[in-house]
Structure 1
Amino acid sequence: MKRGLTIWILLLLAGGAQASGGVDSLRCEGRVNPMGIDAPRPVLSWVLTGNERGIRQVAYQVIVSGKKGERWNSGKVTSNRSIGIPYKGKALESREALTWKVRVWTNYGVSAWSAPAHWTMGLLRSSDWTAQWIGYEHGFPWDSVSKYSRLSARYFRKTFDNPQKVRRATLYIVGLGHYEAYINGQRVGDDVLTQIPTDYTKEVDYRTYDVTENITKGANALSVVLGNGRFFTMRPKYKPLKIKEFGFPRLLYQLEITREDGSVARVVSDGSWLFAADGPIRSNNEYDGEEYDATKEPGNWLRPEVLPSWGAALKAQTQDPIRVVDVVHPAGLKEIKPGTWIMDMGRNMAGWVQLKVRGERGTKVTLRFAETLREDGSLDMANLRDARATDVYTLKGEGLEVWHPVFVYHGFQYVSIEGYPGTPALSDFEGQVVSDGLDTLGTWTSSNDLFNRIYANACRSIQSDYKYLPLDCPQRNERMPWLGDRAVGCLGESFWVDNHRLYAQWLDDMEAAQKKDGSLPDVAPAYWNYYSDNMTWPGTYLMVADMLYRQFGDAAPIRKHYASMKRWILYMHERYGPLTKDKYGDWCAPPGVASTGGTLIATAYDAHLLDLMTGFAPLAGSPADVPRWKKMRAVAARAFDSAFAKAADSTATASLLPLVFDLTKDTARLLRTLARYTHVATGVIGTGWLMRGLTDNGLSNLAYRVANNRDYPGWGYMVEQGATTIWERWNGNTAESSMNSRNHVMLLGDLLPWLYEDLAGIKAGTPGFGLIIMKPVCVDSLGFVRASYRTPYGLVYSAWENEPDKWTWHLRIPPNARARVYLPGRKGSLELGSGVYTLEERK
């Protein structure tokens, strides 16, 4: 692109704002007004507002108050920090309700006080819990505790009298594996599949609800339904060395009521509750589906067993709950044989189908789920392996009935409907997408419709595979949190949604799964006992922590996990030396592509991970470790050069890794090799560095061509074959079915970071985007790119358009941040403070 010498800079300033700006978006522990946190020193953040150019915070003041008065007054603190401010007041107590506000001083003056925000403390000591675990450690005659487990839901109930009006009522609850809680017949909360899956032997998370409006004066009825989740595993009594089992569902329930006169009453789970299993949910199994008999009401009430203390640490839930996040209306419905209908949802999704039906009592409607169809139009369930993915609803026979499962979900595009009374209509069904209820952070669109469709497919797969854990897939008999799938994927996902707390929790799961000798698993929590000593899959432990630091400015996970990371690195070196070990290689490369040696990959990753440890050590308060990590990194680099210098151009991945990890001086030879690959020729490992590796080394046009291909293999090929999500295999339309998910994220690689950081030009220059690097790569065949991203400092916007006579770039930089702006094709950069700008260059 040829340009003239004149650059027009138009500053677009809105008027009418206070000269000092303001403060908004107050967050405690990353959440808005959270309940029941157990961090003793919660971390506070806020966002500056204002339309003036170059707003910079120079000081702040925080005041935190509670029932006992002022708990912390920071006074005027000279600092530009607006994220990650630790509470430094008086020691906080269990159940304490806090209100806080903040004001800031900027280079324009002092702001008004923010609107007040709130948080409440959870139960900080084990002695705060007076509830007992209750459950029933047996199956019933209609259950099957076998490989294909069928275990009915467990129902618990308790009545009590409340003689006064309620000032405040709080429920603390754990239901292993899933639960729904009701008070006086009303559902508590709007979350679904409630209860975070963890290694339940190490940690169990409790949820806190404000139920003040649910409790009435007089008689009250409490009830809880327990499903199986991952606690009563989907395949018990099968491959015991591989599959971890925990036991039968159990409940811990503590309701605390502050009455009008200030007295406190507690209603807790104990032996006085009633229990039944002979109710309408006859079976619930995450792989196999849910069976619901509406003719049954819970009966044959028993006393539950009071169970011994579970032993795992009780921790307040920090993650956003799973919710119904979207509704999908079916696109087609066809009868393929008498009484069997196939419904097309129009897109692949993860969740369930809600049906409306009228019919005679005892009529059974069976729904089966699959991602694809056979040639005869029937469901193709082969890629589900032994997952049965079947829901059954038995009608009560009393007018219109509306139902969906509550303790299972499915990954599907097509639904087989059998036994439906009469002729079903599209309006009788809706798909409900179930995923973590995360805030959307980013938007991205361009003049390239193929890129837009790939981006939409990527977002659907990310959404499908978030279920409190970052899973590999939502449909077959797996659904496991494989570490290797997210090493780079977590970064791309963070540009779309706020996955901060999801991944912080996952790091805790990894640490909990670490063995005493230092080894880390390939799956965490370790529901499957896979410890194969890789550098790549367990290395995700470090790469996720690095992402949280760079994207969100959060160094706490590095400090928390540094010792465990160090134990793992030293374990691998002591056991395997500098030429380290890898099991999976460049997993799922296109068939026919030469394989990349696992030891080459592992040794290159070792050098990269040692670079990360070098940066982590000072953040973790261990600067004395830096020389050690640098020395080990130098040894790894020499080992790589000695063993693999000649082989480094044997495959695309073998060429990429030494380039992006700075392990070679012979860049020209490797770039010549990469230039031969005009299509994707990498698997999970190589694809994680492909787009940025090409772009950073002067091959941006090649990167664009690879992404823009519509033929095999590539993301565009998936779109051309009708995909609405990302496949597990590049040849997903022809691959053997046993490992061929149509809804996976691992092959996204670094595509999303490339779209945001390189094409849109939005990249963190310092942790948390205090400095934003805005350096868009403008490919001549791309007419425009428009993207936004809500950083911890506020919204960044970048929109450029390439017209015949000019190139125009619209920018927005949030207050208290600054940007280093690079114009394509020009040397040097501009330093811009906050504000709204238009940069225009005539050609």
Structure 2
Amino acid sequence: MFRIKKVMLEQAQQLGVFDALPLLSWVVECSSDGAYQTQYHVQLAKTPLFDDVLLDSGEVDSDESVNVKFADITLEASTSYFVRVKVWNNVGESTAWSEPKRFLTGLMSKWNAQFISPEIEDEAELSRCFYLRKKFDLSEGKHVNSAVIHMSACGIYKAFLNGEEVGQDELKPGCTSYKKNMLYQTYDVTSQISGNNVVAFHVAPGWYKGRFGFFGERNFYGNKSAIICQLVITYENGETQVVTSDDSWLATASPVIFSEIYDGETYDANCEVVNWLSGDINESDWYRPVSLDLSTTILNPQHASAVRRIEQIEQPKKIISPKGEVILDFGQNLSGFVEFAVNGKVGHKVVLEHFEVLDANGNAYFDNLRSAKQRIEYILDDSGVQSYCSNFSFQGFRYVRVTKYPGVVEPGNFKVHVIHSEMDQTSEFESSNALLNQLHKNIRWGMKSNFVDIPTDCPQRDERMGWTGDAQIFAKTASYLFNTSSFFSKWLTDLNADQLENGGVPHVIPDVLSGRTDHDEFLSTGTHSSAAWGDAAIIIPWTMYVMFANKALLARQYESMCAYVDFMVNNSDEYIFNYKLQFGDWVALDAKEGSYFGATPNDLTATAFFAYSTRLLAKTAKVLGYVDDERQYWALHDKVKSSFNNKFVNVDGSLKARTQTSHILCLHFDLVPDVFKPKVAEGLVALLAENNGSLNTGFVGTPYFCFALSNNGYVEEAYDLLLKETFPSWLHQVKQGATTIWEHWDGIKPDGTMWSPDMNSFNHYAYGSIGDWIYSSVLGIQPTESSPGFKKLRIKPLMTKKLAFAKGRFESNYGDICVEWKHINGDYFSLSITVPFNSSAMIEFDMNDQIVCSNGMTTLGSNVYEVGSGTYLFDIQKKRDNKMSVPADSLFSKMD
């Protein structure tokens, strides 16, 4: 077998929209071991038959198959294009042409449309929604070749053409820094065009003018919702007809009389306008919208990662609480919409209230939502059986209290649409430990719940903001679970837009805190540039480069990366960084009672990240070929590291701050001289023992804890920490019934009481960053900086007797990397590794392991092997013994 499995544009499989020819990647399946690509051939055309080839690369001698730029060409706006690929390998085989991969082009700044608002009066404080529509006819006697619509909104919108919704995306146009970067969506609507047409919009306040953030404020970007639309119809004779939004459209209030991101929706079915989506209607109550003087220069096409309904959960469990509440349990904490069916009389209501957990007595618990209502209200008309699903407000929940419902609440009348940004799932994991398997599921669900257009901290309370610290902590784990390249590229565009002129990076992106916190005692001391939060500007682009070989993104973000490091230089004291408000080791268990700040000194954590980010920036400069910058930032790194040691490390190599996090950062960020590392590692293990083998770390220390142990000779201690089941631990949450990751280790305390409701999310993915260690250490699948994107990977699984087996898959840029290991008996393990086509791997074992392996690999010494594509089998004896006998029931013996 030798075939092209898939073609991706800018790392995404979804139908993309671009103003220039996107970078191409392709994944090939090949049954020949040791095979790699020797040539490729790419073509571009306007039809899937390729009878009008516009570009032809010819046969190019290259093993490149990721982020390939094969030509420069000026594309036409509002046009479909197709690409296809063919490749050859080193064993004389060639593939057939790939399936045609389609993409659309945007308007390329050729906007003729205007932003139009249905809010002709002062609606700034109201949360109602509106309809807009426009009737138009086609040119008589002409045949349509294509119809492409481009649209966006100040607010959230749904669009329709002739009664059919345009696109399947939710919460369009998404949450961005609207005044600097607004996304527009593009769809091919050729099949929806008819002779007499109606284009229609439903628009809500959304993030643009609705309530946003925990201060209760609204109208961050403007006080009027609006839409913009440009429909380009191309006839077979080459002529075009353009339908644009302007003051000739009509508008009216919609039956959604209230809609807010945090608070939910109220829909009055009695206010519905029959047939408003198509045909002739009585337009006497409709009125002309107003044109807004808003620039179209900030409009950019959305390439990928739109929010969609990804899956459904049906048949919830019905619970009657001790208080008599009717509660539906969907079994999973998530982000989404409830769809329900109901039959009743005019004026009857359905009221649904969403929440995450039951209290200690089994009743609905809402306190941790703070001011967010998460409430859906539906007012029935006389049309019989009716169904409804939220239009513009999503909820974070597992449970729904059915506060009002005509008749008997039947679980079969309710289902959930799970939503998140569309990304390709790229991994699987399973082990012999059921609790660990559930933890992995919880990590993935925590990501799905919070990757709703932006990387939110939580999906339920009155916050849901793009906290930079949470995002950078989790970015590596996220990139094992899903292909996040497009998702983070989109979000980093807004980080660039909102970065301060002095280089500071806001705590949240989009930035809805700066300039609005004078009345807040906590945040008034600083809304940007806390260590580990501001460092997202550097760590996330670097992670995207290492995981996906996204050098273009690295180059795009380089100026931003430099600006933040320069900011730290300018706001440090002899290279000790401690700028204004520092979150430090946030919500660590070693914090003082009632405090969110861990015991590790803030100047230590801040300076540690200063050194780490400077180090990554020096590496980035090297990748991009900036030799002078590379030299400059390495020199800066050495100065910061020296200052760190002078201030925080004793002359004997011990640390002045005896906290777990201080030791973790020193080890993982390579901050102390090599001669001191054993002592620091011993100190970390001692601190762990002093705390009964439990962690007491927060957001800063936790992501690297197991790495600090296993990379310094304490593999079994790392496993002990991962697999610990008593409080506080990851698996303790699982045993408590968690289906996502909690914000606090003790969100629900061992006695059943809750952490303070002011900050107690049960769907907060940051501590799910342990997923990085699961993939890179338990399975041992690691990218290399010298050949990023898993072109040449490193595989070093850390096998333990504490698990009978562990297995998993990660779909890299080149295909599936598979690892499975089993504990056979005693000191014997078996291992199977699969390396994809056009990739190679260095497989590493401990120096003292005794190895028996299959053929087809090169020995590099010290138990390191180099292999090409294919599947390789190993038997390992993990002890000091020059002789090794292979157990008869080994995986190797069975599979060979």
Question: 1:627 Cα deviation (Å)?
Answer: 1.5
Alignment match, 1:785: 806
Contact 2:304 2:422 in 1 (8 A): no
Question: 1:46 Cα deviation (Å)?
Answer: 1.1
Deviation per CA, 1:477-504: give whole Å up to 9, x if none.
Answer: 0001000012231100111111111111
Give the AA of the match of 2:117.
G
Question: 1:189 Cα deviation (Å)?
Answer: 1.5
- Structure 1 stretch 807-816 or stretch 457-466: which is displaced more? 807-816
Question: 1:654 Cα deviation (Å)?
Answer: 0.5
Question: 1:33 Cα deviation (Å)?
Answer: 6.6
Q: Does 1:702 align with 2:702?
A: no
Q: Does 1:795 align with 2:816?
A: yes
Q: Does 1:229 align with 2:226?
A: no
Question: 1:193 Cα deviation (Å)?
Answer: 1.5
Question: 1:334 Cα deviation (Å)?
Answer: 3.3
Q: Does 1:816 align with 2:825?
A: no
Aligned with 2:188 (options 210, 222, 232): 210
Alignment match, 1:611: 615
Contact 1:649 1:673 in 2 (8 A): no
Deviation per CA, 1:755-802: give whole Å up to 9, x if none.
Answer: 111111211123000112111101112111110011001111111111
Cα distance in 2, alignment partners of residues 375 and 110 from structure 1: 64
Q: Does 1:29 align with 2:5?
A: no
Contact 1:236 1:245 in 2 (8 A): no
Give the AA of the match of 2:620.
F
Where relative contact order (Cα < 8 A, 6+ residues apart) is larger, the structure is: 1
Contact 2:205 2:260 in 1 (8 A): yes
Contact 2:513 2:527 in 1 (8 A): no
Question: 1:369 Cα deviation (Å)?
Answer: 1.2
Q: Map 1:542-561 onto structure 2 (within 5 A).
A: 542-561=538-557
Deviation per CA, 1:703-740: give whole Å up to 9, x if none.
Answer: 11111111111111111111111000011003111100
Alignment match, 2:880: none
- Structure 1 stretch 433-442 or stretch 340-349: which is displaced more? 340-349
Question: 1:512 Cα deviation (Å)?
Answer: 0.5
Alignment match, 1:728: 743
Question: 1:326 Cα deviation (Å)?
Answer: 2.0
Q: Secondary structure of 1:690's match?
A: helix
Cα distance in 2, alignment partners of residues 157 and 535 from structure 1: 48
Q: Secondary structure of 2:206's match?
A: coil
Alignment match, 2:589: 590
Question: 1:434 Cα deviation (Å)?
Answer: 1.3
Q: Secondary structure of 2:231's match?
A: strand
Alignment match, 1:635: 639
Alignment match, 1:50: 30
Question: 1:151 Cα deviation (Å)?
Answer: 1.4
Contact 1:276 1:301 in 2 (8 A): yes
Cα distance in 2, alignment partners of residues 237 and 404 from structure 1: 26
Cα distance in 1, alignment partners of residues 349 and 665 from structure 2: 56
Q: Secondary structure of 1:231's match?
A: helix
Deviation per CA, 1:80-119: give whole Å up to 9, x if none.
Answer: 1111111314322323432222222321125144234234
Q: Does 1:358 align with 2:354?
A: no
Aligned with 2:111 (options 94, 108, 129): 129
Contact 1:330 1:343 in 2 (8 A): no
Distance 1:319 1:284, change over 3 A: same
Aligned with 2:864 (options 817, 824, 829): 829
Cα distance in 2, alignment partners of residues 421 and 91 from structure 1: 60
Distance 1:327 1:41, change over 3 A: closer
Cα distance in 2, alignment partners of residues 193 and 239 from structure 1: 21
Alignment match, 1:763: 782
Q: Does 1:73 align with 2:56?
A: yes
Cα distance in 2, alignment partners of residues 338 and 818 from structure 1: 61
Q: Does 1:658 align with 2:679?
A: no
Cα distance in 2, alignment partners of residues 519 and 32 from structure 1: 34
Alignment match, 1:13: none
Q: Does 1:714 align with 2:741?
A: no
Distance 1:336 1:568, change over 3 A: closer
Distance 1:403 1:338, change over 3 A: farther
Q: Map 1:46-195 onto structure 2 (within 5 A).
A: 46-66=26-46, 69-126=52-109, 128-138=110-120, 145-146=124-125, 150-162=126-138, 163=140, 164-195=142-173
Question: 1:457 Cα deviation (Å)?
Answer: 0.8
Cα distance in 2, alignment partners of residues 591 and 657 from structure 1: 16
Structure 1: gaps (5+ residues): 1-16
Alpha carbon RMSD of aligned pairs, Å? 2.2
Give the AA of the match of 1:285.
E
Question: 1:165 Cα deviation (Å)?
Answer: 4.0
Q: Map 1:420-431 onto structure 2 (within 5 A).
A: 420-431=405-416
Alignment match, 1:506: 491
Distance 1:308 1:457, change over 3 A: same
Question: 1:522 Cα deviation (Å)?
Answer: 0.9
Question: 1:35 Cα deviation (Å)?
Answer: 4.1
- Structure 1 stretch 117-126 or stretch 740-749: which is displaced more? 117-126
- Structure 1 stretch 55-64 or stretch 170-179: which is displaced more? 55-64
Q: Does 1:746 align with 2:766?
A: yes
Deviation per CA, 1:112-161: give whole Å up to 9, x if none.
Answer: 442342344423532x2111111134557xx6x44xxx411111011112
Contact 2:118 2:252 in 1 (8 A): no
Alignment match, 1:3: none
Q: Does 1:772 align with 2:793?
A: yes
Cα distance in 1, alignment partners of residues 730 and 315 from structure 2: 25
Contact 1:169 1:212 in 2 (8 A): yes
Cα distance in 1, alignment partners of residues 670 and 107 from structure 2: 47
Cα distance in 2, alignment partners of residues 396 and 256 from structure 1: 38
Question: 1:382 Cα deviation (Å)?
Answer: 0.9
Give the AA of the match of 1:156.
L
Deviation per CA, 1:524-559: give whole Å up to 9, x if none.
Answer: 110222633323211011110011011111111111
Q: Does 1:625 align with 2:629?
A: yes
Contact 2:133 2:200 in 1 (8 A): yes
Q: Secondary structure of 1:803's match?
A: strand
Deviation per CA, 1:382-402: give whole Å up to 9, x if none.
Answer: 111111111100012322111
Alignment match, 1:674: 684
Alignment match, 1:532: 528
Q: Does 1:382 align with 2:367?
A: yes
Q: Map 1:460-479 onto structure 2 (within 5 A).
A: 460-479=445-464
Q: Secondary structure of 1:230's match?
A: helix
- Alignment TM-score, normalising by the size of structure 2: 0.87
Question: 1:648 Cα deviation (Å)?
Answer: 4.8
Contact 1:28 1:119 in 2 (8 A): no
What percent identity do the matched residue pairs reach?
29
Alignment match, 1:11: none
Alignment match, 2:269: 294
Q: Secondary structure of 1:344's match?
A: strand
Distance 1:450 1:33, change over 3 A: closer
Distance 1:660 1:648, change over 3 A: farther
Cα distance in 1, alignment partners of residues 467 and 219 from structure 2: 14
Deviation per CA, 1:650-678: give whole Å up to 9, x if none.
Answer: 10110111111222131222122211312
